[in-house]
Amino acid sequence: MIAPRNAPALPRGATTVLPLGTTRRAIHSPSLQTMPSLLRALRRLHQGYPLTVTAVGQSNTAEWAGCYGVFCAPLKAAGFNGWGHAFMRRVNATFPHARHALHNHAIGASSPGQASACLVNHVAVGSDLLVIDYDVSGWSRAAQEHMALTAMLLPAPRPAVLLLGFPNWCPPVETFDQWARRNRNTPNESKPSYIGRYRSDQKAVCIDRLSSDGNASLPLEGDAVGRSVAAVARQHGMPFVSLFDALAPLIAARHPLFSPPSKFTYDGIHGQRHILTLPCL
C-alpha cells in the first residue's frame, strides 16, 4: 500500500480526546426498527457471519477510505490507514471474522449520476452495507433523490444504505474561467497549467481563510449540501453521517486536533482524516 499524498497525521489517541457529543452530532438516523436492512446486517454479525461493505463515491472515498479483506488497487491510496479500513477494524474487534470485507468502488471526480445509472454493477455481491459519498460535488437534490431511490430498488436482499457527508470547507469563490480571465498574462499558457495554478491558489486561500478566523458560520458548501442530504435520508429512512455537524463547532472553538485546519484537510476538500475520530461511523 502507498500512503496518501500530503496526508495530515492525527495524533496518537485522537479517538479518545474528542469532546462528548461529537459523534452524536454527526449521526442523523431514523429508528433502527424502521431500517430492516440494517437490522438484518446486525443480526448476521451477532450470528457469526462476516460483514461485507461496498463504498461508492468520489475522491474522499476513492483515495482515503482504503479497503479491507480484499485487494486494494494502488489508487485507493489510504490502504491500511484509511477511514474505511479503520471502521472495519472496529467491526472486527467486536465481531471477529476472517472474511469481513470492504470493497472500495469509489472513483475520484465521478458523479452520482454515473454511479446510480448502473449501481447494481458497483455493489459487491452479498453486500450488507452500502456507503455512498457524493457530498462534495455533483450532489444536487435531484441526484440525491435518484441515488436513494436506486439504492432502495437494488435486488434483494438489499444492503443497508449509509449516506456519508464530507463537506467542502472552502468552496471556490469564483469559477475557473473567471480566475483564468483575471490571470491570463501569458497568452500561450495551456489550460492544464492554468488549472494547476488555480487549484494551488485556491488551496492556499482556503487554508488561510480557515486558519485566520476558524469561523463555523462561514458559508460552507458542505453545510447546505449536508442539510439537503439529511432531508433525503430522513424521507427515505436512511442514516446520514455529517462531518460538518460533528466538526464545525470544534473548528470554531479551535480544538487542538483541528487547528490549524491543515491538520485535517490539506486543500479544504481532501484528506479529511478526521473521520478516523468518529468511531460510530
66-75 pLDDT, tens digit per residue, is 889 988 766 5
To the question of pTM greater than 0.85 for the whole model, the response is: no
Rg for the chain, CA atoms, rounded? 19
Per-residue pLDDT of the chain (281 residues; tens, 9 = 90+): 233 344 444 443 344 456 667 777 888 888 777 889 999 999 999 999 999 999 999 888 888 888 899 887 665 555 566 788 888 998 999 999 999 999 999 988 888 888 888 999 999 999 999 999 987 656 788 888 899 999 999 999 999 999 988 877 765 555 445 545 555 554 444 555 545 555 566 666 666 667 665 554 454 545 677 788 888 899 999 999 888 888 777 777 777 777 777 777 767 777 665 554 544 44
Residue 101: its pLDDT value, please? 96
Residue 23: its pLDDT value, please? 72
CA 168 centroid distance within chain:
10
CA distances 109 to 26, 76, 81, 106, Å, are 24, 14, 21, 9
Residue 9: its pLDDT value, please? 45
Provide CB contacts within 8 A for 189, sequence distance 6+.
none
Q: Which of 115, 119, 156, 159 is nearest to 134 (CA)?
A: 115
In 156-172, which positions are buried (b, 16+ CB within 10 angstroms) versus exposed (e)?
eebbbbbbbbbbbbbbb
Bridge partners of 55, per DSSP, are 104, 131
Are the C-beta atoms of residues 47 and 79 closer than 8 Å to each other? no
Distance CA 76, CA 69 (A): 14
Q: Which of 256, 250, 274 is nearest to 264 (CA)?
A: 274
